[in-house]
Amino acid sequence: MSIENTPEMNAQEREKWFSEELYCHEDALRTWLSRKFKLNHHLDDVIQEAYVQVMKATSVKIVKNPKAYLYSTAKFIAIAIIKKESRHAYLAFDDDSVIVPFDNTKSSYQNITEKDDLQLLREAIKKLPKKCRNIFIMQRIKGMSYAEIAEDLGISTHTVSAQLSIGLNKCAHYINSRKYK
């Protein structure tokens, strides 16, 4: 029989609820995630983060179907990790290097053109004001959410959005002014 979680549960009740409603699904969740996503060494992190997020949510609201909520939360965490790892071009901003893995399915000309484009982007980003540059890198290169950036920098998500918009416009202008002379 399912125990209903409430924000008013004490620590012992929350521990019991966790064991009976979430932890008992760990093996099945692990198997499901392994089959559905290629998480490699991130599997334990996804499961742990899913537990944390579900427990945080249950401290402020009642979760009617804990198993479904756990699976859904784990799925979104897994997708976020995969998105972050699926970036194929890495830009270094502390030195003059640009690392671009070549794609064997593209011609040499396409690879060189992409490398030139990335070099232009790197230059454009370096020209941004410091705050704008940091936000741009955190969001566009590192894949952080607006909320994560806002929390890290102690600013509002509106400021993150505005600075990112400014950065995108300045980068586009810089690249267009040099690429299409």
Q: In the chain, where are the structural domains located?
A: 11-85, 90-179
Tens digits of per-residue pLDDT, 86-145? Answer: 553 344 454 444 444 444 454 544 544 566 778 888 889 999 999 999 998 888 888 888
Mean pLDDT of the chain: 80
Say what the pLDDT of residue 181 is.
62
Say what the pLDDT of residue 9 is.
81
Say what the pLDDT of residue 122 is.
87
Say what the pLDDT of residue 113 is.
56
pLDDT-above-90 percentage for the chain: 34
Widest Cα–Cα separation across the chain: 71
Work out the burial of residue 76: count CB atoms within 10 Å of its CB; fewer than 13 is exposed, 13-18 middle, 19 or more buried. Answer: middle
CATH T-level fold of 90-179: Arc Repressor Mutant, subunit A (1.10.10)
In the chain, the amino acid numbered 77 is I
| pLDDT at residue 180 greater than cutoff 90 | no
How far apart, in Å, are the Cα atoms of 132 and each of 149, 156, 157, 177? Answer: 12, 14, 13, 20
Q: How many of the other CB atoms lie within 10 Å of CB of 39?
A: 20
Q: Partners of 90 in the beta sheet?
A: 99
**Following CA atoms 154, 159, 164, 165 in sequence, which dihedral angle do they give, to the nearest 10 degrees?**
180
Tokens of 14: 């929350």
